[in-house]
Amino acid sequence: MKTSARRIGVVGVGMCVPKKVLTNADLEKMVDTTDEWIQTRTGIRERRVVEPGMATSDLAYDAAKEALKRAGCHAKDIDLVIVGTTSPDMLFPSTACLLQHRLGAKSAAGFDLSAACSGSVFSIITAQQYLQTGRFKRALVIGAEVLSGFVDWTDRSTCVLFGDGAGACVMSRVSRGGILATDLGCDGSAAEFLCIPGGGSRQPPSHASIDQRLHYLRMDGTEIFKLAVRRMAESAQTVIKAARVPADKIDCLIPHQANIRIIQAMAKRARLPMEKVYVNVDRYGNTSAASNLIALYEAVQEGKVKRGSHVLLVAFGAGLTWGSVLLQW
């Protein structure tokens, strides 16, 4: 969808990852895998994991503080907090409420948004709607996950993939540039390909659910791989067309960081050269909802996103969910 009326943009970004690094060599000691397999099949060299006791809101807090600082505003100026996450501190209350209190964002409303790895992109687009109608003036959007608590560390096909982290941004009206076009989609028919089956109302926690390991993430990697490439490429093309920005004018593509092979295949399919693609999956693995915002933060820090740059965020995740945001920085 091409956006019009008020221009809404990102005015500050932040990120936070835990200090503890878990390398492929560390994983070799935990499951039957090799650094060589992980690097060639996924592009991942290492990921970050929290120490026991650290929760999603802790990472979200540090990322949010940095985004606020860079946006030059205070928590009290924020009137909306959205946290994209699938690993909230608790089932309820929302992580957004915990964060709102800790930040001292006294005038803000807040809620969590569940779109798995598409959490940042869904949250940015949701915030944009509130800002565009004028209902709120300044939104704090966060994608944050501590998936290390939900990964089965005995399952080599999934435990090598994920990492913990948080990315954040402040959004408000801008006088130039901003969000030019967005795309969102979902398809629940493929829900079973990537899920945590236990812990919800269908299969509440019980001794049996723990014995059956239902509280851990399960994935059909091959199916997810194919769908991720197709949906992300289509979504990227949808926003490029809607914004009427020629593909060669995209300065930086920031895809969800799940697997370097998915990123390469989707970029090829969307006809976007790899030189313009930001990649940090090698250092953080798949941080799910945090991934796009962490990558945006680093792309800005490294000068790959500059004033006037056309930036394309593309996400894909469990649900299935997918979405894109094309914006001018």
What amino acid positions are annotated as catalytic residues?
117, 256, 286
Q: How many residues bind ligand UT7 (CB under 6 A)?
A: 22
Which of 157, 206, 212, 301 lies at the binding interface for ligand UT7 (CB under 6 A)? 157
Q: Beta strand 109-113 with 80-84: parallel, antiparallel or unpaired?
A: parallel
- Does residue 40 bind ligand UT7 (CB under 6 A)? no
Q: Is 117 in the site for ligand UT7 (CB under 6 A)?
A: yes
| 104 phi, psi to nearest 5 deg | 80, 35
In order, the DSSP letters of 78-105 are --EEEEE-SS-SSSSS-HHHHHHHHHT-
C-alpha distances in Å from residue 29, one per residue of 48, 152, 285? 17, 15, 18
- Strands 109-113 and 178-186: what pairing? unpaired
Establish if 286 lies at the interface with ligand UT7 (CB under 6 A).
Answer: yes
How far is residue 148's CA from residue 163's CA, in Å, rounded to a whole number?
6
Least Å distance, CB 4 to ligand UT7, is 31
- The smaller minimum CB distance to ligand UT7, of residues 201 and 222, is found at 222
**Out of 21, 37, 39, 65, the residue judged to bind ligand UT7 by CB under 6 A:** 37
Contact 214, 203 (CB under 8 A): yes
* Nearer Cβ to ligand UT7 (224/295): 224
The verdict on 42 binding ligand UT7 (CB under 6 A) reads yes
Q: Which C-beta is closer to ligand UT7: that of 110 or that of 167? A: 167
Is residue 224 within the footprint of ligand UT7 (CB under 6 A)? Answer: yes
Burial string for 133-156 (b: 16+ CB within 10 Å, else e) reads eeebebbbbbbbbbbbbbbeeeee
Among 124, 160, 171, 214, binds ligand UT7 (CB under 6 A): 160
* Shortest reach from residue 316's CB to ligand UT7, in Å: 6
- Asked whether position 84 contacts ligand UT7 by CB under 6 A, the answer is no
Least distance CB 118 / ligand UT7 (angstroms) = 9
Residue number of the CB closest to ligand UT7 reads 221
* Residue 123 beta carbon to ligand UT7: minimum distance, rounded to whole angstroms: 16
Q: Between 95-103 and 56-71, two packed helices, what is the crossing angle to 10 degrees?
A: 50
**Binding-site member from 41, 70, 173, 276 for ligand UT7 (CB under 6 A):** 41
Report residue 23 as tokens: 């390398």
CB 31 within 8 A of CB 157: no
Residues 167-206 that bind ligand UT7 (CB under 6 A): 194
Tell me the DSSP string of 137-184.
Answer: SEEEEEEEE-GGGTS-TT-HHHHTTB--EEEEEEEEE-SS-EEEEEEE
- Our CB check for ligand UT7 shows the closer of 95 and 286 to be 286
List of residues contacting ligand UT7 (CB under 6 A): 33, 37-38, 41-42, 117, 156-157, 160, 194, 219, 221-222, 224-225, 228, 256, 258-259, 262, 286, 317
